Structure 1
Amino acid sequence: MEFRNLGASGLRISAIAYGNWLTHGSQVEEDAASACVRQALDEGITTFDTADVYANTAAESVLGRALAGERREGLEIFTKVFWPTGPGEHNDHGLSRKHIMESIDGSLKRLGTDYVDLYQAHRYDHETPLEETMLAFADVVRAGKALYIGVSEWRAEEIRAAHELAKELRVPLVSNQPQYSMLWRVIESEVDPTCRELGLGQVVWSPIAQGVLTGKYLPGQPPPAGSRATDDKGGAGFIEKWMTDDVLERVQRLKPIAEGVDLSLAQLAVAWVLQNQNVSCAIIGASRPEQVTENVKAAGVTLGDDVLSAIDEVLGDAVITDPALTVSPRRSEVLG
């Protein structure tokens, strides 16, 4: 396993992180989820990412039980706060001081730990003053409940404003967690350069574009039974933007490129993300242990410029790059 610093901080994390969005507590039974976590540990993964909203807090509990008994100092556990949890009442979401302070305690209890290594703002909160949010995060750090703080899916100007407050409060804002893949590159023009300047690393989610970059979805054919594209609990909604014949045909044309460097399509996709030196880790998910084993082989792979150019030529205008697509919802949208 390759290890990288999380942004400009001294925290070392595994270049491949294991995440349990859309799987633990929802798509995957707990025995299977625990088997995936065990396999991740066996493969050298030490970094685990979750959030209180995943399966309405159940994913944190599953992960906590799966990691029970492991040496805590040898793990990096990340979680997040923002989206509605519990009954979803008026203070059960957002980045108010009340919600942050209550949420961190709930997350720690479910994860079975005294602290998380990274506590992340899962989206930007338009209805709460940023000063209130950052002070609450600073107090979480000073209470020893989190070692570092980060954000997820924030725009460049929002990250810059948070960084200024973090400097004033003397707390370590070290990361951003964006969606990033060969097909989704909206961070490249604004967010990534800003983070490089400020010392924030990228903790990337969906490096294989919800499974599309594995090549298992074929143009002109229905998705395989049991795949994410058929998941009515949320997975299908996230993947539908890629399920066009044009995108799926282009993905199939990546196969010879992957074979040329002795990688599977999924490994090529994860390795591509890790070529960006501002990417601290790529988060993979799994419903079976063998998926973990396959994806970790992307760690430490170097893709030549000729390979990167060939990928760009194949994907062409199927790549999405508009930075305006990084959007955080407002309260009315969160509550529906």
Structure 2
Amino acid sequence: MEYRALGRSGLKVPALSFGAGTFGGRGPLFSAWGDTDAAGASRIVDICLEAGVTLFDTADVYSNGASEEILGAALAGRRERALISTKLGLPTGDGAGGASRPKLIDGVEKALGRLRTDRIDLLQLHAFDGTTPVEETLAALDDLVRAGKVLYVGASNFAGWELMKSLAAADRHGWPRYVAHQAYYSLVGRDYEWELMPLGADQGVGAMVWSPLGWGRLTGKIRRGQPLPETSRLRETADAGPPVDDERLFRVVEALDATAAETGKTISQVAINWLLQRPTVSSVIIGARTEDQLRQNLGAVGWVLTAQQMAQLDAASATTPAYPYYPYWREGGFRTVNPPQVSIR
């Protein structure tokens, strides 16, 4: 397994990390994701650690805390072999969300208990809290880091201005900076490239990619002219995920088909490998409801797409960005003063 720096930090993370949203299965959304119990989670952790996938990502909102509880139990006795990432800030069964000082202090204490650990390696805010001053949020995170309960901090699902405002405040006061941004990015969801990618490259914020298969659309099961498979989670959760135009989806799937045939890999492996070669990507979060799904996703590493294959996938998935981002793709004078994004690795 390849290890990469998480943004501009000293933390090294595996190119693939495991998302524990499938642990627990409580509630209509997360039960559609998966319902892995403690025994199944222990086996999945076994396979991940054997493959070098040492970073496990969860959140308090996943199955109302059950995901953290099951992950903590699965890591019992081998906590030192793993990195734990969790997220706070969305509303849970306990009430409203947010990133105020009381919410963060209380949320971390409860997460530590569920995870059976004395520290969180990476704590991410699950969403920007526009009702709390960023100074209050960052000062509370600074206290948690100084207390040793949190080692690194990150954000998730922030807009560019929200992330930059937080980074500027952290720099101004000497508080810990966000070193990671957990964001949606896939071949059928490339909006991350418009602003968040150049911001990450400039500010040293590494991307932890969620839903790399486009909410389950890039598994090879969805085809032009065919109905959704009976087992597809899109039947129950399509409205909760980012929308994708059907024609663009089929165009991308057909390009993935051709590349998979050339490489001898699966469609999902090709889609993940494409992400691993994109600028600012530190780790791609994979999920799995079964051991077979996990092993298949692990096959996305250990090889690389050629430049020509990358270009073909780029062309098939390209869309015109909204103003003012589209000039980044133009040739000419604008490009001389606004060069393309560069990798932070």
CA–CA distance in structure 2, aligned partners of residues 307 and 295 of structure 1: 19
Q: Higher relative contact order by CA 8 Å / sep ≥ 6: 1 or 2?
A: 1
Residue by residue over 1:69-120, the C-alpha shift from the partner in whole angstroms, topping out at 9 and shown as x without a partner, is 11x33211100111112332xxx31111111111001111111110011000
State the partner residue of 2:94.
Answer: 87
CA–CA distance in structure 1, aligned partners of residues 48 and 283 of structure 2: 14
Question: Is the counterpart of residue 297 in structure 1 residue 303 in structure 2?
Answer: no
Give the TM-score normalised by structure 1.
Answer: 0.87
Alignment of 1:1-336 (within 5 A): 1-25=1-25, 26=31, 27-30=34-37, 31-70=39-78, 72-88=79-95, 92-167=96-171, 168-231=173-236, 235-239=237-241, 241-242=243-244, 244=246, 247-248=249-250, 250-317=252-319, 321-322=321-322
CA shift, 1:307, in A, is 0.6
Partner of 2:141, secondary structure, is helix
Partner of 1:209, secondary structure, is coil
State the partner residue of 1:328.
Answer: none
- Which contiguous aligned blocks of 4+ residues in structure 1 show a shift greater than 4 angstroms? 320-324
CA–CA distance in structure 2, aligned partners of residues 164 and 240 of structure 1: 29
Residue by residue over 1:116-147, the C-alpha shift from the partner in whole angstroms, topping out at 9 and shown as x without a partner, is 11000111111111111111111111111110
CA shift, 1:10, in A, is 0.9
Judged with a 3 Å threshold, the aligned counterparts in structure 2 of structure 1 residues 105 and 322 are, in CA distance, closer, same or farther, namely: farther
Is the Cα contact below 8 Å between 1:96 and 1:132 reproduced in 2?
Answer: yes
Is the Cα contact below 8 Å between 1:24 and 1:33 reproduced in 2?
Answer: no
Partner of 1:298, secondary structure, is coil
CA–CA distance in structure 1, aligned partners of residues 179 and 142 of structure 2: 13
- Over aligned residue pairs, what C-alpha RMSD do you find? 2.0
Q: Percent identity?
A: 38
Deviates more, 1:207-216 or 1:143-152: 207-216
Is the Cα contact below 8 Å between 1:18 and 1:47 reproduced in 2?
Answer: yes
Partner of 1:68, secondary structure, is coil
CA–CA distance in structure 1, aligned partners of residues 169 and 147 of structure 2: 18
CA–CA distance in structure 1, aligned partners of residues 74 and 195 of structure 2: 38
Give the TM-score normalised by structure 2.
Answer: 0.85
Residue by residue over 1:280-320, the C-alpha shift from the partner in whole angstroms, topping out at 9 and shown as x without a partner, is 10000000112111112222432222111111233344xx8
Structure 2: 5+ residue stretches without partners: 26-30, 325-345
Partner of 2:299, secondary structure, is helix
Partner of 1:254, secondary structure, is helix
CA shift, 1:252, in A, is 3.2
Structure 1: 5+ residue stretches without partners: 325-336
Is the Cα contact below 8 Å between 2:138 and 2:176 reproduced in 1?
Answer: no
CA–CA distance in structure 1, aligned partners of residues 84 and 123 of structure 2: 9
Q: How many residue pairs end up in the alignment?
A: 315
